[in-house]
Structure 1
């Protein structure tokens, strides 16, 4: 997100800020972190730090993009710049130089800003102590929090808390409630519909909150503890909390943090995330996973503009504005889900993945105060790559998998566990597909779906997908082969993933029968 920095005031603003500084006093920066690195603080009127968006969208060299993705995943919380640089094939000095040239700030500055902005949201919108906020945002303690907040915002944590709007006194009983900003438009119901057909019983579910609003709920691990995340879009978003203002703003924006942006539906008309955890330490990482799964920081406008005039996809885009390409909360879990879905239906794949979770996952007791009503309770964390790799082929006996599928699952798990396959890499689509297809049992369909859902590629397109072919057949009125669909999709580049999602969505909305086999 580009911001305007005013040299005479030391403040940077959003493009739509009502302030009108003299043009000759204004310097443009490609992102807020660059403005902060040059000594500017966020405007208290337009709150640019509260906007959704991501540094991952910057036009930067591939190594810088890979490093930015790692930083957003919290890599620098546990590693230094030297380790980050080595990961992308540079020296720390070279990487800092590239970051300063292309981003306007060093990797360490970006990581600190990410944590500081998230802490600012918790200061504004919760009554957590500064010690709890420090741990939640990944700082070592209140002193580090104080230094970072003062450096970025030019106010102490105490001063910022005193500036929050009167009456905003959040209640933390029953979980910490966080608000999810997004780049409008955003179709939350389409996300729920997508997830409902793919949930892994015992790990995740789709249900309704106390207000009758559709909700998504899942288990996850935070700092070694099992936790529950509930995600919903209430009619009055604040209804998930105890009062009209009981919501803490969650990570967003280029630094991974932001509060609630205003939109046409009202300031609080945003998805809400409720976290049930024994500790709030490092919840910034859970928030980042949620945002990635939703695609909340992705701007749908370029894809919609590119596809709007297409005779086949254009009407679908106009009929479903705000449709996102759902990504993943847990990259490895989603990759396994896709592998299991090979040549079987969505429902069957969900059943098989649930068996994996039951046998190899970590069991836990879900908290009684969960607000989402679901038919199947959450009971397990999905296992990690090391667990499935250690199980070996013999560990899957009796689960109903073919030997070939077992070999693929175990092989993928071993490759991920060993570090030979990085599921957060930023390679080109072609290199990603080629690398995945080198693994036994993984072909173009699986590789393109992993590239789309796990690695976030906008142009991945599994042309052999039965659901896509049937959706195209329904629109064209005649059978469509995988080769024909692939040729047809050439005009949808570089947003074939978005076109595919519109095809799947349209087919699901118009068909009374269950989703097609191998339709992801």
Structure 2
């Protein structure tokens, strides 16, 4: 989708309730003081009453509150941040990972290699909101999820969402949702009492991970099942109805995540019955402050912020790919729940990775089924392993190789290739999966420039069709 579309085109998207643009922009109605996603089912407002914003934070900063019907704060993220490698794209990925909440604007700027003033200026100029406002909008969404799906006390939710005080939390909820936290909880489907009974500590936090357009879940779950490392991952069920479960190492603690495969989602969306959808998930967190980060990492793993319409339009125009795209609309390019883990697994291989988990991985305080550990941190492998894997682990632990959401992809690839024993195909795999680059052409692959910027997706189409082997 065109990120520079004019306002008349945006209004046509609103008028037609086009869900393809959910998350790409937001619109607000001056007469009501409410902002919405483009697919909002409410009566279309008159053109002269509508204002457009690139982010929910920008709409909130202009005094508009979130629509209770379409829940614009829950829209899929803009696919633009996955594609862009500039400072704005990198900043948005870092903010999504919770860096501003944990390290402040100064920490965000340091990771980007810019001054805090430069980051503020660039984000405000392009997105209509600075890093603090963008993080505030994200905290408000996290708070709403916790209020409406758990029985946590309001005070605990305030700090778990990243707010510095209960007063700041209350003020933000009122400003964003035009409701008190108690009123927001009571507005949950089934009422606040039902939500509290539904989400006990043992049951975890139920989530709907939204995506736009068709979603080919089968190939994603096939890949995850094929790669699963015992102790940290498992896949149960039959194709079309599987559940993927894994452990996560997070900034404040650990988690167990379960994500359900939705049968037939891609076919329904392709026929136009569902222009978007979601994957059902559940998170068991040892520290609720990790909710935002955990959700973003699952979104990257399942490639939920992709724009399948843009990908399929470009690749479907090629005679070689056209029948493959028609057969699998909305095919995704999975990322990684933990970039450093993915890199070390890519180099070690699945069998060795399983041994590393048992030898160096941290054992869960409360193992669950086959999930017993989290994957070892780089420092643990750097101390215990020699050779190429030890060198990679040491580089990750020391920061010589950065794979976090704000890492510069070109710099990361150069640093990887400088390590002993790490070849170009492995570096390309790490760039595709750990860094979420949608446009990677591995050495020797025949991927023409006309497939840019979606060559990573083209590879998945070729592999799904049996034209390339999975590496």
The TM-score, its normalising length taken from structure 1, stands at 0.77
Superimposed CA distance per residue, residues 447-474 of structure 1 (whole angstroms, 9 cap, x where no aligned partner): 11111001111111224xxxxxxxxxxx
Task: Name 2:51's counterpart in structure 1.
Answer: 27
Query: d(CA) in 2 for partners of 1:37 and 1:437?
Result: 43
1:327 aligns with 2:335: yes
Task: Name 1:10's counterpart in structure 2.
Answer: 33
Give the conservation status (yes or no) of the 8 Å contact 2:252–2:287.
no
Give the conservation status (yes or no) of the 8 Å contact 1:208–1:215.
yes
Match of 1:227 among 255, 268, 279: 255
Match of 2:375 among 370, 373, 382: 382
The alpha-carbon deviation at position 165 of structure 1 amounts to: 3.6
Superimposed CA distance per residue, residues 364-396 of structure 1 (whole angstroms, 9 cap, x where no aligned partner): 36555x6xxxxxx12221001111112242xxx
Task: Name 1:475's counterpart in structure 2.
Answer: none
Task: Name 1:511's counterpart in structure 2.
Answer: none
Query: d(CA) in 2 for partners of 1:280 and 1:290?
Result: 16
Match of 1:292 among 293, 300, 303: 300
Superimposed CA distance per residue, residues 10-40 of structure 1 (whole angstroms, 9 cap, x where no aligned partner): 2112223333322222211122221111111
Q: Describe the shift of the 1:432–1:9 C-alpha distance in structure 2 as closer, same or farther (beyond 3 A).
A: same
Give the conservation status (yes or no) of the 8 Å contact 2:362–2:374.
yes
Match of 1:48 among 72, 83, 95: 72
1:95 aligns with 2:100: no
Task: Name 1:257's counterpart in structure 2.
Answer: none
Task: Name 1:68's counterpart in structure 2.
Answer: 92
1:183 aligns with 2:212: yes
User: Secondary structure of 2:211's match?
Assistant: coil
- Larger deviation, residues 215-224 vs 450-459: 215-224
Query: d(CA) in 2 for partners of 1:287 and 1:116?
Result: 14
User: Which residues of structure 1 form unaligned runs of 5+?
Assistant: 238-262, 341-348, 371-376, 394-406, 464-481, 509-514
Superimposed CA distance per residue, residues 393-450 of structure 1 (whole angstroms, 9 cap, x where no aligned partner): 2xxxxxxxxxxxxx21111111111112110265665554333212222222111111
Task: Name 2:399's counterpart in structure 1.
Answer: 419
User: Secondary structure of 2:236's match?
Assistant: strand
Q: Describe the shift of the 1:51–1:419 C-alpha distance in structure 2 as closer, same or farther (beyond 3 A).
A: same
- Note the 1:288-437 alignment, pairs <5 A: 288-340=296-348, 349-364=349-364, 366-367=366-367, 377-393=370-386, 407-424=387-404, 430-437=410-417
Q: Describe the shift of the 1:59–1:365 C-alpha distance in structure 2 as closer, same or farther (beyond 3 A).
A: closer
Say how many residue pairs are matched: 436
User: Secondary structure of 1:219's match?
Assistant: strand
The TM-score, its normalising length taken from structure 2, stands at 0.85
Q: Describe the shift of the 1:99–1:302 C-alpha distance in structure 2 as closer, same or farther (beyond 3 A).
A: same
Query: d(CA) in 2 for partners of 1:355 and 1:461?
Result: 31
User: Secondary structure of 1:288's match?
Assistant: helix
Task: Name 1:241's counterpart in structure 2.
Answer: none
User: Which residues of structure 2 form unaligned runs of 5+?
Assistant: 1-23, 266-271
Query: d(CA) in 1 for partners of 2:353 and 2:131?
Result: 37
Task: Name 1:215's counterpart in structure 2.
Answer: 243
The alpha-carbon deviation at position 73 of structure 1 amounts to: 1.1
1:146 aligns with 2:170: yes
Q: If you compute each CA radius of gyration, which structure gives the higher value, 1 or 2?
A: 1
Query: d(CA) in 2 for partners of 1:94 and 1:14?
Result: 29
The alpha-carbon deviation at position 295 of structure 1 amounts to: 0.7
The alpha-carbon deviation at position 141 of structure 1 amounts to: 5.0
User: Secondary structure of 1:462's match?
Assistant: coil
- Note the 1:76-155 alignment, pairs <5 A: 76-140=100-164, 142-155=166-179
- 4+ runs deviating over 6 angstroms: 58-61
Query: d(CA) in 1 for partners of 2:118 and 2:131?
Result: 11
- Larger deviation, residues 142-151 vs 35-44: 142-151
User: Secondary structure of 2:255's match?
Assistant: strand
Query: d(CA) in 1 for partners of 2:148 and 2:264?
Result: 20
Give the conservation status (yes or no) of the 8 Å contact 1:215–1:231.
yes
User: Secondary structure of 2:114's match?
Assistant: coil
Give the conservation status (yes or no) of the 8 Å contact 2:82–2:438.
no
The alpha-carbon deviation at position 140 of structure 1 amounts to: 4.0
Query: d(CA) in 2 for partners of 1:144 and 1:424?
Result: 29
Task: Name 1:440's counterpart in structure 2.
Answer: 420
User: Secondary structure of 1:180's match?
Assistant: strand
The alpha-carbon deviation at position 208 of structure 1 amounts to: 2.3
Give the conservation status (yes or no) of the 8 Å contact 2:217–2:262.
no
Superimposed CA distance per residue, residues 146-191 of structure 1 (whole angstroms, 9 cap, x where no aligned partner): 1221232232212222333445713124422222111221122221
Match of 2:290 among 269, 278, 282: 282
Query: d(CA) in 2 for partners of 1:266 and 1:311?
Result: 25
Superimposed CA distance per residue, residues 195-245 of structure 1 (whole angstroms, 9 cap, x where no aligned partner): 111111111111129x992111111234554432111135699xxxxxxxx
CA-based RMSD: 2.8
Task: Name 1:472's counterpart in structure 2.
Answer: none
Query: d(CA) in 1 for partners of 2:46 and 2:451?
Result: 43
Query: d(CA) in 1 for partners of 2:127 and 2:231?
Result: 42
Match of 2:235 among 206, 224, 249: 206
